Amino acid sequence: MEETTCSSMATVNHEELIDELMGTYGQEIQQLVFAYVHNETIAEDLTQEIFVKCYKSLASFKGKSSIKTWLWRIAINHAKDYLKSWYSQSVKPADDFSLIIADEKESIEQTIIQQDEDAQLADAVMQLTIKYREVIYLFYYEECSIKEIAEVLEVNQNTVKTRLRKSKSLLKEMLEGSRWKND
C-alpha cells in the first residue's frame, strides 16, 4: 500500500480508506494487540474497536507521521487502555488452543522440537513487561526500524535501543534458565 498522506486523504472516501487500512494492516494490528493482551479473541475484538476509533478520528489526522505510525499509536494506546480497564483486571478469559499441523517435509520430531523452542521463546517474550515486549515485537516481528518504533511509542530512539538491548538480555537470562531446568 502506498503511504497515504493528508492531501490524498481528502480525495479518498473515509470508508474506502478504512477498508484499505484494514486490508493492509489488519493482521499486523491484531498481532500487535495480541502481544499485549495474550488472547486471540480479545485481540480480534480490540482490533475491530481500533479501526472504529481510527474511522472516527480520520478528520483529526494531521499528517505529521505516516498513517501507519498513527494507526499503530492508536492500537498501542487502545491495548494499554484495555489492560488498565476493570474488565481486563477482573475477568480472566479461557486460554486459546490452536492445532499445529506438521509440514510433510519435516519429521515429526523436528517439528515438535521447533514448536517447543518457539513456544519457550514466545512465553519468554510474553513474560517481559510491556515496555520491553513492545520493542521486541515491533523490531523482530514487524521489522520496524528503531526510528519507526520511537515514533510509534513516542519515545527517544536511544530509549528504544536501550529497551531493545535490555529485553534481549532478559530473554537470554530467561531462556538459559529454562534450559538448565529442563536438563
Question: Does 182 lie in the same domain as 120?
Answer: yes
Judge whether 29 and 47 are in contact, CB under 8 Å. yes
Number of domains in the chain: 2
Residue 75: all three cell numbers together: 492500537
Claim to verify: residue 77 and residue 109 sit in the same structural domain: no
Name the domain boundary from 72, 95, 118.
95
pLDDT digits (tens, 9 = 90+) for 97-143: 443 443 444 566 666 667 777 777 777 888 888 889 889 888 888 88
Residues 118 and 138 in one domain: yes
User: End-to-end alpha-carbon separation of the chain, Å?
Assistant: 48
- Examine the domain organization and report whether 141 and 68 are in the same domain: no
Half-sphere exposure of 121 (CA within 13 A, CB side): 11
Does residue 170 share a domain with residue 83? no
d(CA 134, CA 163): 9
Q: Is there a single domain that holds both residue 75 and residue 111?
A: no
- Indicate whether 171 and 129 sit together in one domain: yes
Strand residues in the chain grouped as ranges (E): none
- Helix, coil or strand: residue 106: coil
Residues 61 and 138 in one domain: no
CATH label of the domain that carries residue 79 = 1.10.1740.10
Contact 118, 175 (CB under 8 A): no
Boundary of a domain, candidates 95, 123, 140: 95
Shared domain check, 83 and 38? yes
| pLDDT exceeds 60 at position 179 | no
| Residue after which a domain boundary falls, among 47, 66, 95 | 95
Q: Structural domain of residue 75, as residue ranges?
A: 1-95
Q: Are residues 37 and 123 in the same domain?
A: no
What pLDDT shows up at residue 8?
43
Predicted local distance difference test score (pLDDT) of residue 19? 85
Residue 103 region, left (φ>0) first, then alpha (ψ -120 to 50), else beta? beta
Nearest residue to 72 (alpha-carbon basis) of 136, 1, 152, 14: 152
What CATH number corresponds to the domain at position 125? 1.10.10.10
Looking up cell 498481532 gives 31
pLDDT above 50 (res 2): no
Q: Which is more confident, 31 or 118?
A: 31
